[in-house]
Amino acid sequence: MASQVAVLFARKRSVYHGLAGCDVWTAERDARRYVGSHPVIAHPPCRAWGRLKGQAKPRSDERELAFFAVEQVRRCGGVLEHPAFSSLWGAAGLAGPGTRDLAGGWTLPILQSWFGHRAPKATWLYLVGVEPSDLPLIPFALGTALGRVEMMGQAEREKTPLELATWLVAVVRRVGRV
C-alpha cells in the first residue's frame, strides 16, 4: 500500500498542504516536472474542458496540462478529478462511467456536496490501480445542496473540500494493493 501521494495541479492554498504524506505540486512548483513514482491525485485546470468552456479564457497550455495529468495517473496509478461530462474524457480516451479503458481506468461519478461542498458540483473521478470494491466508504447523501457553482468566486468554485481531499488520499493509498 502506498503511503506517499503526489498531488498535481493543486491550488496554492490547497487543503492538501495540511495532509500527511502529500507531496503537493502547485503552479509555482510546476506539476509538469513531476517524474516520481508515487500514485497521484490530479486536479488539472478544467476551464478548457467543462460545460462553460466556450466562455472560458484558458492559458494557451492549459489543455496540455490535462493530458499530462492523464499520463501520470495511468503511469503511477491514482485519480484524476474533473467536472462531470468534461470533454477531456473523449479527447483522452478515458473510460466513461460503467466502462473500462485500455489502461484499466474507470470513472466514478460523485457530487462534491457529499463531501462538504456547498454546491452539488457534479464531478467525475477517473481511477487507475484501484478497484471499486477497494474504495473507502463514500458519504453518499440524498438531498440538494443549496449553493450554485455559477454564483461562486473562482477560489470557492475550485476549492477541494477537506473531506473530499482526505477521501481521495485514502483512495490513492490503496493503489496497487493486492
As a whole number, the mean pLDDT across the chain is 88
- Rounded to whole angstroms, how far apart are CA atoms 47 and 50? 6
Q: What is the pTM of this model?
A: 0.90
Nearest to 157 by CA among 108, 110, 124, 112: 112
> What are the Cα distances from residue 116, in Å, to 66, 67, 156, 166?
25, 28, 12, 12
Residue listed under C-alpha cell 470557492: 156
Note whether 2 and 170 are within 8 A (CB). no
- Residue 73, pLDDT > 60, answer yes
> What mean pLDDT is predicted for residues 84-110?
96
> What mean pLDDT is predicted for residues 45-74?
81
Nearest to 51 by CA among 87, 78, 99: 87
The pLDDT tens digits for 122-168 are 899 999 999 999 999 999 888 776 666 555 556 565 678 899 999 99
> What are the start-end ranges of the H helices in 37-161?
62-76, 88-92, 154-158
- pLDDT at residue 28, rounded to an integer: 93
> What mean pLDDT is predicted for residues 44-60?
71
- Rounded to whole angstroms, how far apart are CA atoms 99 and 97? 6
- pLDDT at residue 141, rounded to an integer: 81
Nearest to 89 by CA among 76, 78, 105, 75: 105
